[in-house]
Amino acid sequence: MNRGPPTVEAQRLARRLTMFDATMLVMGGIIGSGIFVTPAEVARHVQTPLLIVGVWILGGLVALAASLVYAELAARRPEVGGQYAYLRDAFGPMPAFLYGWALLLVIQSGGMAAVAITFARYLGDLVQLPIPDSALAVAVLALLTLINCMGVRSGSNVQSGLMVLKILAIGALVLAGLLFAPVATFKPHRAALGSLSTLAAIGAAMTPVMFSYGGWQTSSFVAAEMRDPRRDLARGLLLGVAGVILLYTAVAVVCVHALGAAGLASSKTPATDVMRLAIGEKGATFIAIGVTISTLGFLSQGMLTAPRVYFAMAEDGLFFHSVARVSERTRVPVIAIILQGAAAAIIAISGTFGQILSYVVSVDFIFFGLAGAALFVFRRRNPDQPVAFKAPGHPFTTAFFVISCWTVVVATVANNPLNALIGYAILAAGVPACLYWQRKSRGAAAA
C-alpha cells in the first residue's frame, strides 16, 4: 500500500531523540518487573540449572534475531508507528489496524495496568501509604501521561533516567548474589533432553521467557521523532537487545547460584530472596526499590511510545481524526497519549489485568511473526533498495525469528486455551471496527 506525502500533522512531530534515547527505549520496553519474578516461573517448568539458564539464552537468541529483523525494517520504513507501518505497507490496512486495536485493548494497556498495580504494591510496602493499590496505580499513570504531554524530550529524559537506575539495580542484584550469597546445595536431577516431556516443559517455559523479552518493537513507534531513524534506531535495537540478553542471563545464573533449581522454583520473589541471602533485610529493601524503579521505567516507556501507533492509525483514517492532532506547543500527539493513559487506568481499576496478561503473549507474538514476514515482502518487492542496515543471515535468521514466534503462540495456546480464545475474540472484534473506519474514510474522501 503506497502512501502519499506526510500530512502537516505528521510533519510537526519534533525530531529530538538520539541513538542513546533509542537504546534506552529498547531496553526500557523490554525490562519491566518480570525479570525479578519470572526466573521462578521458568524453574517450575524446567528443573535443572542447565535448562533454566539455557531457556533464557534461547529466548535471547530469538530476541537477537528480532533485533536484526527490526533493525532492517527500521532502516527501510523509518516512519511514525513502527510495527504498525511495517504491517500496513506489507499486508495492507486490516492487519495493521488489528495490531493497533490489540495494542490498545490488550497488549499495551493490559501490560501497563498490571505493571502499574505492581508499582503501587511495592511502593505501598516501602512507604506504607494508606491508599488503595488501584488508586495509586491510576495516579502514577496520570503523572506519566502529563509528563509525556509536555513533549517527547521531557518523556524521553524521564525514561532514560529511570532506565539507567534500572540497570544499576539489576547489576547490584547480580554482583551481590555472586559475591555474597552462599552457593546453593544442588540436588542431582536427571533430565532426558530429547524426551517429549522435556521438550514440552521447555515450550511451556518459553512463554514467560518470551513475555519478559518482548517489547523490543516499541522503540520503533517513535521513529518519526528520531534525528536519524535509519541509523539510530537500527543501532539502538542491536545495542539494547544485546544489553538485555546480558542482564537477563546474568540474573538467571545468579538466581540458580544462590537459590538452587528447587529453591528458585519454590520462591515467589526470587530477586528479594537472593538479596536477603546476600546482605540481609537491607538487601531485600534495596531490591524492592529496584523493582519499583523498574516498573515505573516500563510505564514511562510505554506512555512515550505506544500512543504513536494510534496517531498513525488516525493519520491513515482508521481511527478518530482527533487522535492525529499534534500540540502546537509541545509537538506531541496529546490526545493519543491521554487515550493510552486512560485505557491503562480503566483496566487497572477494573482488576482484570491479571487475566489480560495471560493472553498477551498469544496475541502479541502473532504480530511479531507477521512483522518478520514483512521483511520477506519488502526484500522481494524492492530487492535493490539501498538501506543503511541489512539483517545478517537473512533469510535464515528471519525465518528462525518467525518460526520461533509462532511456536511460542502454539505453546501458549496449548497451555492456556481459554485465555487465548478470549484474546482472539477481542482481536476478531477489530475486524468490523476496521471495516467501519475504512468505509467512513472512503466516504469522507468522496465528499
- What residue type is 98 in one-letter code? L
Residue 384, domain member (yes or no): no
How much is the pLDDT for 348?
84
Give me the pLDDT at residue 251, please: 94
Rounded Cα–Cα distance for residues 296 and 118 (Å) = 10
The pLDDT-based confidence of 12 (bands split at 50, 70, 90) is: low
pLDDT of residue 277: 92
Lowest mean pLDDT among 45-49, 222-226, 234-238: 222-226
Residue 186: pLDDT band (50, 70, 90) is low
Q: Inform me whether the pLDDT recorded for 393 exceeds 80.
A: yes
Assigned domain for 362 exists: no
Q: Determine, yes or no, domain membership for 332.
A: yes
| Predicted local confidence at residue 5, as pLDDT | 41
Which of 324-328, 376-380, 419-423, 441-445 is most confident?
A: 376-380
- Cα 95 to Cα 393: distance, rounded to the nearest angstrom: 27
pLDDT (average), residues 251-256: 94
Q: How crowded is residue 6: how many other Cβ atoms within 10 Å of its Cβ?
A: 14
185 has a pLDDT exceeding 80: no
CATH of the domain at 96: 1.20.1740.10
Averaged confidence pLDDT in the chain: 84
Least confident stretch, 9-18, 91-100, 149-158, 415-424: 9-18
Average pLDDT over residues 384-394: 88
> Grid coordinates representing 256?
540458580
- Give dist(CA 12, CA 371) in Å, integer: 27
Check if the beta carbon of residue 85 is closer than 8 Å to that of residue 94: no
Q: What is the pLDDT of residue 395?
A: 94
Tell me, rounded to whole angstroms, the distance of Cα 312 from its chain centroid: 19
Tally Cβ neighbours within 10 Å of residue 173.
Answer: 28
Q: Return the top range by mean pLDDT from 19-28, 126-135, 192-201, 245-254.
A: 245-254
Return the pLDDT at 429: 94
The region of weakest confidence among 12-21, 164-173, 175-184, 192-201 is 192-201
Global pTM? 0.80
- Judge whether 389 lies within some domain: no
Q: Confidence band (pLDDT; 50, 70, 90) for 13? A: low
- Distance, CA of 149 to CA of 337 (rounded, Å): 7
Instruction: Return the pLDDT at 250.
Output: 95
Task: Cell 505501598: give the residue.
Answer: 124
- Residue 343 — pLDDT band, cuts 50, 70, 90? very high
Residue 2 to residues 9, 83, 252, 377, 393, Cα–Cα distance (Å): 19, 16, 45, 14, 28
Task: Give the structural domain span for 165.
Answer: 9-353
Q: CA of 107: how far to CAs of 82, 181, 240, 312, in Å? A: 16, 37, 21, 17
And the C-alpha cell for 237? Answer: 535495537
- pLDDT at res. 161: 85
Distance CA 213, CA 208 (A): 9
Residue 422 covered by a domain:
no
In a domain, 154, yes or no: yes
pLDDT single digits (tens) 283-341: 888 888 888 888 888 888 888 888 989 998 998 999 988 998 888 888 888 999 999 99
d(CA 437, CA 146): 29
Is 440 among the domain residues? Answer: no
Percent of the chain with pLDDT over 70: 92
The total number of structural domains in the chain stands at 1
Who has greater pLDDT, 68 or 127?
A: 68
In the numeric block, the cell 510537526 is attached to 12
- Whether 391 is in a domain gets the answer no
